Amino acid sequence: MNTIKPVFIPDHLYGIIGYPLGHSLSPLLHNWGFQHYNLKAIYCKWPMPTDRLPEFVAALRTLSIPGVSVTIPHKRAIMPYLDGLTADAMHAGAVNTLFWRDGELWGDNTDVQGFLEPLTARRSQIRTALVLGVGGASRAVVWGLKRFGVERVTVCGRSSESTVSLARDAGCVYIPWEERGQWSGDLLVNATPLGMSGKFRELSPWPGKISNIHIAYDLVYNPQETCFLRQAKEGGIQRVGGLEMFIAQAQGQFRLWTKKELPNEPVRELLSSALGEVG
C-alpha cells in the first residue's frame, strides 16, 4: 500500500530577487533557519530583470510577502518603489532587505552591520581604511566605516567618475586606481568582484604583496580563500573573509523578519560545506 506523504504548505513566503541569481546561498541559509525554529515558511529564488521591478513590488504588496532579500542589480533600483528607508539604507544609498513596518514596505541594508560585525573586536585597531571598488557594496562599507568612527576613509575604483561620485556622496577622500599599491594604513577592503569564483577567481585587486597594512578584508566569499586573502597571508596580515560578512548580514535579515537569531557555528558549517561543493 502506498503511503501519501503530507504536503508542506507554508504560512509565509520569503525570497531573494536579483538578476541573475546563480549559486545564491541565501535560500539554503534561510530555509535552514526556518526548519531550525520549526517555522512554516519557505524562501525562494526569484530571478527578476530590472524592468519587472514595478510589477514585482505590486505583487509583493498584494500577497503580503513578509520579507525579501535584494541583490545585484536591484539594490538601488528598487528604492523609489518603497514607502520608507532605514538610516543604514539611506546613508548607504542601497537596499538589500525588504520588510514591513506598520503596514508600509520598508528597505534596510543589513550589509552595513554585516560588514562591521567581524571587525567589532578589532575596532581600536582601525583608524584608516582603503576601500577598493565603488559599487553598491562599497557604499555600504564606506558608510559602515564612518559609522564605526574610522578617522580617514579612502575609496579607489577603476572608474574615476564613479570613484569621485562615491567620495563626494560619502564625504571621504579618494585616490586613483593606479596609486592603490602605494597606500598603507590599518584596513584594506576588497569590495570588487575580483577573486570571485569563475572568470575572476585568480585575480586580485591588489598589485603585489600586501604589506604595511594591519587587516585585509575580502567581501568575496566564494571561494573562501581568495587570491587577495592569500596575498595577505603571505604578508602575515590579519584576514577577514567574505563568509563572515555574508553570515552576519543574513542574521540581520532573519532577525528582522522572525525576531529570532541564527546560530553562528551550525550556519558556518552549513555554508562552508555548500561552498566546498559549488566552489
Closest CA to 95 of 144, 136, 145: 136
Residues 6+ apart with CB under 8 A from 230: none
Cell of 251: 542574521
Per-residue pLDDT reduced to its tens digit, 111-148: 999 999 999 999 999 999 999 999 878 999 999 999 99
Residue range(s) occupied by CATH 3.40.50.720 in the chain: 113-243
Its CATH architecture, for the domain 12-110+245-278, is 3-Layer(aba) Sandwich (3.40)
Residues 6+ apart with CB under 8 A from 46: 15, 16, 17, 21, 56
Q: Say yes or no to pLDDT of 1 above 80.
A: no
Q: CA-to-CA distance for 159 and 256, rounded, in angstroms?
A: 35
pTM of the model: 0.92
pLDDT band at 76 (very low <50, low <70, confident <90, very high): very high
Report helix angle 26-36 to 242-258, nearest 10. Answer: 50
CATH of domain 113-243: 3.40.50.720
Cell of 207: 598589485
Residue range(s) occupied by CATH 3.40.50.10860 in the chain: 12-110+245-278
- List the catalytic residues: 75
